[in-house]
Amino acid sequence: MGAKRCIIPLPRTKRARALLCALLAAALLLLLGVLLLGQREPALPPESAALRSAAEGLTGYDLTLRLDPEAGVLTCSQRVDFRNGTGDSLDTLTLRVYLNAFASEETSPAALEEIYDACYPGGFSPGYMELFDVTWQGEAASWRYADTAKTVLEIDVPAIAPGDGGALFLRWAAHIPACAHRTGYADGVWQLGNVVPLLSLYRDGAWRQDEYSPIGDPFVSECADFQVRLVLPDGYVPACTAFLSETAAGVWEGRALASRDFALCVSDRYETARAVAGDTLVSAYAFDKAGARRALDAAKKALETFEGLYGDYPWPAFSVCPVDFPFGGMEYPGLVMLAKGYFAADQRDSMELVLAHETAHQWFYALVGSDQVNDPWQDEALCEWAMLRYVRENYGQGSFDTLRHYRIDLPMQENIPGSLTPGSPIDYFGALADYSAVVYGRGAALLLALDEMLPGGADAFLRAYAEEFAFRFVTRAEFEAYLNGYAQMDLSPLATDYLDTIM
C-alpha cells in the first residue's frame, strides 16, 4: 500500500487555510443555489393588460372555501359584488345551485340510465346545498327555490337600477355525493364542478332557469372575477380555475379574472408537473409523476397549437387533472377534468385527442360564451373542428383525413332516430351517443363546409370571431350575423342546411 496522498496540498499558513475554507464554502453555497433554482416551481406569469381590462367592472365573487373530507362537506363564505349590467332594474337576483339536482334520483344528471351504474357504483348517494345566511347590503334577504330540483335560487333585493350594484352574501355547506360525475367524490378526488352558486344569465328581461339536463353541459353564465381562499387538510392539493399558491400550511389563495365559472378538484393523491407555455403556467395533475408529465406535455401542445390558430389564451394559468367519470373530459375556465383512464401510459394518443377538444373549449365556451342549452353545437362543434385542426397542425393531412372519417363522415352516415339535428337544444336528446354523433360530428361538418368557402378557411374566421366576442356571450343569431358580415354574403341558408335539416 502506498502512503496517503493529499491531492490539493494544504496551505501552510493559518490565514491562507481560512481563505481556502471561505472560498470552498462560497462555491458550495453557489452550487446549492443553482440546484435549488433549477428545481424551483415555475412561477405564475403576470396577468396580461388585456385580461385586466376585460375584468374591469365585472361582478366579483369572493370565496372562502373549506373542505372537510371526513364529513364530505365543502363550506363557503361567499360574497358577490354584483354590478347590474343587464340594462333593466332588478328586484330579484337568481343564482344557480346545480348541486341540489343531485339530491334525488329523479333530478340527478348522474341518474341517467346510460351512466347510472358508472356514476353510482355503490348505489345512489345524495348531494345537496345547505344555505345558512343570505344578506343583501348587510340586511337579511328573503329567498326561495323556484324549481322542484331547487337549482334556481331567487333572492329578493330592493330595486337595483342599471349600473348600480351591491354586496350579496351567502354562507353555505355543500354536501358532496359519492358520485363519479363532474360533481361528486370518487376514487380519492373531490370533483367540484358547478358547486359554487353563480348568478344565472339575464337575457330578454328574465333570468335563465334552464333545467339541469343530464345530457350536455346546461350551464350559462357571464364572466366574473373570482378571489379565492381555500383551506384544505394537510396533504391535499387543489387543481382549479385559478392558480392557487399555498400561502400558509393548508391555505391556498389566488384569483381568476374574467372567468365564466370557478371549478376545482381536490385530492390527496395528486402528483403535479408544471411548466410555462407562452404566458401561461400549465399545471398537470395525475396519480403518478409520469402521468402528470404526459398530461403536461399534451396540455402545453394543445395550448400552443390553439394559440397559433385562434389567438392568445388570455389567462395566466391552465390546469388539467384526472377525475373518475363516464365521460372523456369536461371543460371549465382554466381547468380540464379528464377521465382518469387517459393518464395510463398506453392511452397517450387518446389523451391527446380528448385534451385537444377540451382545451379548445378555452376559446369556445370560456372566452367566447354561447348558449350551451339551446345551441350546444356553438361550442361543441367548434371544438370538434378545432380538435381535427390540432391533428392536422401536428400530424399532417393524412391523420386529419383519417380522423375526419371517424369523427365527421361516419356520424353523417349514421342512422339516428327521431328528428335530431345539430341545431337542436340539449333537452331534445335522450342518449349521449346520439348527442355526440349529431352535435359534435354532424355539427363539425358545418365548419368543414365553411373551411372550403371562406377566405383563409374556417380558422381565420374562428380567430376573428374569438377576438370580436372575447369574454362575451354570443347567441346563434349573433354568430350568423357575424359570419355573414365576415364572408360578405348571406350564409344563413348554409347554416340552416347543416344545423337544422334532418338527414
Residues that bind Zn ion (CB under 5 A): 380, 383
| Cβ-based nearer residue to Zn ion, 184 or 443 | 443
CA dist., res. 342 & res. 5, Å (int)? 58
CA dist., res. 318 & res. 45, Å (int)? 11
DSSP H or E run through 37: helix 14-39
Q: How far is CA 268 from CA 85, 236, 240, 323, 337, in A?
A: 40, 4, 14, 13, 16
Nearest approach in angstroms of CB 360 to Zn ion is 8
Q: Which residue's entry shows cell 334520483?
A: 105
Asked whether the beta carbons of 372 and 426 are under 8 A apart, the reply is yes
Nearest approach in angstroms of CB 344 to Zn ion is 22
Give buried/exposed letters for 394-414 (b at 16+ CB in 10 A, else e).
eeeeeebeebbeebbeebeee
Nearest approach in angstroms of CB 202 to Zn ion is 25
| Cβ-based nearer residue to Zn ion, 304 or 380 | 380
| Cβ-based nearer residue to Zn ion, 196 or 383 | 383
| Cβ-based nearer residue to Zn ion, 270 or 440 | 440
Nearest approach in angstroms of CB 328 to Zn ion is 8
Q: Which residue's entry shows cell 386529419?
A: 400
| Three-class DSSP category at 179 | coil
Nearest approach in angstroms of CB 383 to Zn ion is 5
Nearest approach in angstroms of CB 237 to Zn ion is 26
> How many CB atoms neighbour CB 189 within 10 A?
25
Nearest approach in angstroms of CB 299 to Zn ion is 16
| Cβ-based nearer residue to Zn ion, 111 or 353 | 353
| Cβ-based nearer residue to Zn ion, 141 or 336 | 336
Strands across the sheet with 90-96, in order? 143-145, 152-160, 90-96, 198-199
Nearest approach in angstroms of CB 357 to Zn ion is 6
**Parallel/antiparallel/unpaired status of strands 128-136 and 90-96:** unpaired
Q: How far is CA 150 from CA 79, 112, 153, in A?
A: 21, 19, 7
Q: Which residue's entry shows cell 341518474?
A: 111
| Cβ-based nearer residue to Zn ion, 251 or 432 | 432
**Parallel/antiparallel/unpaired status of strands 329-332 and 317-323:** unpaired
Nearest approach in angstroms of CB 474 to Zn ion is 16
Nearest approach in angstroms of CB 305 to Zn ion is 16
Q: φ and ψ at 119, to 5 degrees?
A: -80, -35
Q: How far is CA 395 from CA 22, 310, 361, 386, 449, in A?
A: 56, 18, 21, 14, 22
| Cβ-based nearer residue to Zn ion, 47 or 384 | 384
Q: Which class for 41: exposed (0-12), middle (13-18), buried (19 or more C-beta within 10 A)?
A: exposed
Nearest approach in angstroms of CB 101 to Zn ion is 20
DSSP H or E run through 397: helix 397-404
| Cβ-based nearer residue to Zn ion, 267 or 362 | 362
Nearest approach in angstroms of CB 146 to Zn ion is 29
| Cβ-based nearer residue to Zn ion, 237 or 387 | 387
Asked whether the beta carbons of 187 and 118 are under 8 A apart, the reply is no
Asked whether the beta carbons of 275 and 282 are under 8 A apart, the reply is yes
Q: Which residue's entry shows cell 387517459?
A: 342
| Cβ-based nearer residue to Zn ion, 217 or 225 | 217
- DSSP states of 228-265: EEEE--TT-EEEESS--EEEETTEEEEEEEEES---EE
CA dist., res. 434 & res. 416, Å (int)? 7
| Three-class DSSP category at 370 | strand
| Cβ-based nearer residue to Zn ion, 335 or 383 | 383
Query: Cβ neighbours of residue 456 under 8 Å, at least 6 residues apart?
Result: none
Nearest approach in angstroms of CB 158 to Zn ion is 40
| Cβ-based nearer residue to Zn ion, 152 or 356 | 356
